[in-house]
Amino acid sequence: MINGISINYYLLLSAVLFIIGAVGVMARRNSIIIFMCIELMLNAVNLLLVAFSTLHNDASGQVFVFFIMAVAAAEVAVGLAILSMIYRNVKTIDTDILSNLKN
Amino acid sequence: MLGYTITQWLFGILSFLSIMFALMVVFSRNPVNSVLYLVLTFFCIAGHYLLLNAQFLAVVHIVVYAGAIMVLFLFVIMLMDLNHDNEPQKTWVTKIIAGIAGGMLLCVLVGSLKGSEQLGISQYGSSQIGMVKNLGKVLFSEFLFPFEIASILLLAALVGSIMIGKKEIK
């Protein structure tokens, strides 16, 4: 229990958010939306890390979340640079068209 | 109020809102709307962090995600001129298969969590570990080396994104 909320609810919420992100990755064609769904999945995991860190009264989990945020920022910068380069060359970011690397 | 405390009400409302906004991220046609719904989802998750007494992470989450990353997304969408409602969609078969796969994954996760009723120790009361002072002490003593490595990672990402993103010089 954290402030009267069982950890199981946090587990459920994180699972639902993660799965919404996973379904978004599978069901959308726009690369940027896929990117945003990956961010959503990262955030679901972050939320669970913070919940368990509060539950166990251990600050390591929150430091982990901090590092995950740093890595996510780096990942988004590189990924969006790659996407904009692809858009400049191919004029689309549709994953069904970009299904083979050598075009 | 129906036997629930304020914290539980807040948790329920924030959970509902974050799941709704996350669904809207996936289902909205316009990429700009998706980005804005994702910002709202991030605000809800920051609210969850506040409920968990992780003030530092809540502020960092809003500043980094809603302030920096989402603005970057919006910029790229505007630069690529994707602000349309009629972008090509996947076929219905793919969407249905994606939904079924997600539902099955949810079933597996919920089923595996169902058996584990008591997970570890339970701490009551308000913990102070999420405050800036406490987290800063841990970050700059125990995790100093990973912190420095993270700065190198950010530098590498900076250089890499500039190298990838610039026009090719011939």
Q: Is A60 within a domain? A: yes
Partner-chain residue, chosen from A11, A56, A81, that has the shortest CB–CB distance to B121: A56
Q: Which domain holds residue B70?
A: 1-84
Q: Give the number of other Cβ atoms within 10 Å of residue A66's Cβ.
A: 23
Q: Is A40 within a domain? A: yes
pLDDT in tens, B110-141: 888 877 665 544 454 556 777 888 888 888 99
Tell me which of A61 and B169 has the higher pLDDT.
Answer: A61
Q: Is A74 within a domain? A: yes
- The alpha carbon of residue A96 is apart from the nearest alpha carbon of chain B, in Å, by 8
Residues B76 and B135 in one domain: no
Q: Is B59 within a domain? A: yes
B97 to A74: CB separation less than 8 angstroms, yes or no: no
Number of domains making up chain B: 2
Please report the pLDDT score of residue A95 as a whole number: 82
pLDDT in tens, A3-15: 677 788 888 899 9
Residues B80 and B2 in one domain: yes
B153 to A65: CB separation less than 8 angstroms, yes or no: no
Q: Is B166 within a domain? A: yes
Number of domains making up chain A: 1
Residues of A within 8 A of B19 (CB-CB) are 13, 16-17, 20
Domain boundary among B60, B84, B108: B84
Q: Is B147 within a domain? A: yes
Cα–Cα distance between B117 and B82 in angstroms, integer? 46
Cα–Cα distance between B25 and A40 in angstroms, integer? 9
Tell me which of B2 and B79 has the higher pLDDT.
Answer: B79
Q: Is B122 within a domain? A: no
Q: How confident is the model at residue A90 (pLDDT cuts 50, 70, 90)?
A: confident
Q: Which of A19, A26, A25, A46 is nearest to B108 (CA)?
A: A19
Q: Is B34 within a domain? A: yes
Q: Is B118 within a domain? A: no
- Among B16, B26, B65, which would you mutate to test the A interface (most chain A Cβ atoms within 10 Å of its Cβ)? B26
- The alpha carbon of residue A103 is apart from the nearest alpha carbon of chain B, in Å, by 18
Tell me which of B126 and A82 has the higher pLDDT.
Answer: A82
pLDDT in tens, A22-81: 999 998 888 889 999 999 999 999 999 998 888 888 888 889 999 999 999 999 999 999
Residues B62 and B137 in one domain: no
B26 to A7: CB separation less than 8 angstroms, yes or no: no
E strand or H helix at B82: none
Q: Which domain holds residue A26?
A: 7-90
Residues of B within 8 A of A43 (CB-CB) are 41-42, 45, 65
CATH of the domain at A43: 1.10.287.3510
Residue B100: pLDDT over 90:
yes
Specify whether the CB–CB gap between A39 and B69 falls below 8 A. Answer: yes
What's the whole-model pTM score? Answer: 0.89
Q: How confident is the model at residue A2 (pLDDT cuts 50, 70, 90)?
A: low
Q: Is B80 within a domain? A: yes
B127 to A63: CB separation less than 8 angstroms, yes or no: no
A75 to B157: CB separation less than 8 angstroms, yes or no: yes
Percentage of chain B beyond pLDDT 90 is 36
Please report the pLDDT score of residue B120 as a whole number: 45
Q: A–B: how many Cβ contacts below 8 A?
A: 227
* Two tokens, residue B153: 């990672």
Question: Which of A92-96, B19-23, B125-129, B135-139 holds the top average pLDDT?
Answer: B19-23
CATH of the domain at B31: 1.20.120.1200
